Amino acid sequence: ACHHGYSVQFWTAAKICNALMEAQSQKRILQLERQWSKTDLIILDEVGFVPLSRTGAELVFQFCAARYEKGSMIITSNLEFTEWTQIFKDEQMTSALVDRLTHRA
Protein backbone atom coordinates (compact mmCIF):
# COMPACT_ATOMS: atom_id res chain seq x y z
CA ALA A 1 0.00 0.00 0.00
CA CYS A 2 2.85 2.39 0.85
CA HIS A 3 4.60 1.64 -2.41
CA HIS A 4 1.40 2.56 -4.27
CA GLY A 5 1.11 5.96 -2.59
CA TYR A 6 -1.50 5.16 0.06
CA SER A 7 -1.17 6.63 3.53
CA VAL A 8 -0.76 3.87 6.11
CA GLN A 9 -0.60 3.77 9.89
CA PHE A 10 0.47 0.74 11.90
CA TRP A 11 -0.73 0.27 15.48
CA THR A 12 -0.70 -2.56 17.95
CA ALA A 13 -4.04 -3.04 19.69
CA ALA A 14 -2.46 -2.11 23.03
CA LYS A 15 -0.93 1.08 21.64
CA ILE A 16 -4.14 2.26 19.95
CA CYS A 17 -6.04 1.44 23.13
CA ASN A 18 -3.64 3.57 25.17
CA ALA A 19 -3.86 6.43 22.63
CA LEU A 20 -7.66 6.29 22.74
CA MET A 21 -7.77 6.23 26.54
CA GLU A 22 -5.42 9.20 26.72
CA ALA A 23 -7.46 11.09 24.11
CA GLN A 24 -10.64 10.35 26.04
CA SER A 25 -9.18 11.71 29.27
CA GLN A 26 -8.13 14.86 27.39
CA LYS A 27 -11.51 15.11 25.60
CA ARG A 28 -9.93 14.90 22.14
CA ILE A 29 -11.31 11.62 20.77
CA LEU A 30 -13.02 13.38 17.85
CA GLN A 31 -9.78 15.12 16.93
CA LEU A 32 -7.99 11.77 16.89
CA GLU A 33 -10.75 10.18 14.79
CA ARG A 34 -10.54 13.05 12.25
CA GLN A 35 -6.78 12.55 12.04
CA TRP A 36 -7.21 8.82 11.41
CA SER A 37 -9.97 9.38 8.86
CA LYS A 38 -7.36 10.98 6.58
CA THR A 39 -5.38 7.73 6.52
CA ASP A 40 -6.14 5.32 3.68
CA LEU A 41 -5.19 2.15 5.57
CA ILE A 42 -4.83 1.42 9.25
CA ILE A 43 -3.17 -1.81 10.33
CA LEU A 44 -4.20 -2.98 13.78
CA ASP A 45 -1.81 -5.69 14.94
CA GLU A 46 -1.82 -8.13 17.86
CA VAL A 47 -5.56 -7.94 18.61
CA GLY A 48 -6.02 -10.23 21.60
CA PHE A 49 -2.32 -10.54 22.41
CA VAL A 50 -2.47 -8.09 25.33
CA PRO A 51 -5.66 -8.06 27.42
CA LEU A 52 -7.65 -4.82 27.15
CA SER A 53 -9.58 -3.21 29.97
CA ARG A 54 -13.35 -2.95 29.52
CA THR A 55 -13.02 0.76 28.73
CA GLY A 56 -10.14 0.13 26.36
CA ALA A 57 -12.06 -2.59 24.54
CA GLU A 58 -15.06 -0.27 24.16
CA LEU A 59 -12.85 2.49 22.76
CA VAL A 60 -11.22 0.13 20.25
CA PHE A 61 -14.70 -1.00 19.22
CA GLN A 62 -15.81 2.62 18.79
CA PHE A 63 -12.72 3.33 16.70
CA CYS A 64 -13.38 0.36 14.42
CA ALA A 65 -17.07 1.25 14.17
CA ALA A 66 -16.23 4.86 13.26
CA ARG A 67 -13.83 3.61 10.59
CA TYR A 68 -16.45 1.23 9.15
CA GLU A 69 -17.02 1.95 5.44
CA LYS A 70 -14.85 5.09 5.69
CA GLY A 71 -11.40 3.57 5.34
CA SER A 72 -9.59 0.28 5.01
CA MET A 73 -8.28 -1.73 7.93
CA ILE A 74 -6.13 -4.79 8.31
CA ILE A 75 -6.48 -6.55 11.64
CA THR A 76 -4.21 -9.35 12.79
CA SER A 77 -4.98 -11.72 15.63
CA ASN A 78 -3.97 -15.19 16.71
CA LEU A 79 -7.51 -15.73 17.97
CA GLU A 80 -10.46 -16.97 15.95
CA PHE A 81 -13.51 -14.70 15.78
CA THR A 82 -15.29 -17.03 18.21
CA GLU A 83 -12.64 -16.17 20.82
CA TRP A 84 -12.88 -12.40 20.39
CA THR A 85 -15.31 -12.11 23.29
CA GLN A 86 -12.20 -12.59 25.45
CA ILE A 87 -10.85 -9.35 23.98
CA PHE A 88 -13.97 -7.21 23.88
CA LYS A 89 -15.59 -8.59 27.05
CA ASP A 90 -19.10 -8.45 25.58
CA GLU A 91 -20.69 -10.92 23.19
CA GLN A 92 -23.04 -8.38 21.57
CA MET A 93 -20.28 -5.81 21.00
CA THR A 94 -17.97 -8.50 19.62
CA SER A 95 -20.65 -9.71 17.24
CA ALA A 96 -21.30 -6.16 16.02
CA LEU A 97 -17.59 -5.58 15.47
CA VAL A 98 -17.04 -8.82 13.56
CA ASP A 99 -20.09 -8.00 11.44
CA ARG A 100 -18.67 -4.59 10.52
CA LEU A 101 -15.21 -5.97 9.81
CA THR A 102 -16.44 -8.76 7.55
CA HIS A 103 -19.34 -6.93 5.85
CA ARG A 104 -17.44 -6.02 2.67
CA ALA A 105 -14.24 -7.95 3.28
Question: What average pLDDT does range 49-65 have in this prediction?
Answer: 90
Alpha-carbon span 60 to 14, nearest angstrom? 9
What is the three-state SS of the chain? CCCCCCCEEEEEHHHHHHHHHHHHHCCCHHHHHHHHHCCCEEEEECCCCCCCCHHHHHHHHHHHHHHCCCCEEEECCCCCHHHCHHHHCCHHHHHHHHHHHHCCC
Alpha-carbon span 3 to 6, nearest angstrom? 7
Alpha-carbon span 3 to 92, nearest angstrom? 38
Q: Is it the case that residue 70 has pLDDT exceeding 90?
A: no
Q: What is the pLDDT of residues 30-51, one digit of tens each?
A: 999 888 889 999 999 999 998 8
Residue 17, φ and ψ in degrees, nearest 5: -60, -45
If one compares 66 and 8, the residue with the highest pLDDT of the two is: 8
> According to CATH, what is the number of the domain 8-102?
3.40.50.300
Question: What average pLDDT does range 90-101 have in this prediction?
Answer: 89
Q: Is it the case that residue 16 has pLDDT exceeding 90?
A: yes
**What percent of the chain has a predicted confidence (pLDDT) above 90?**
54
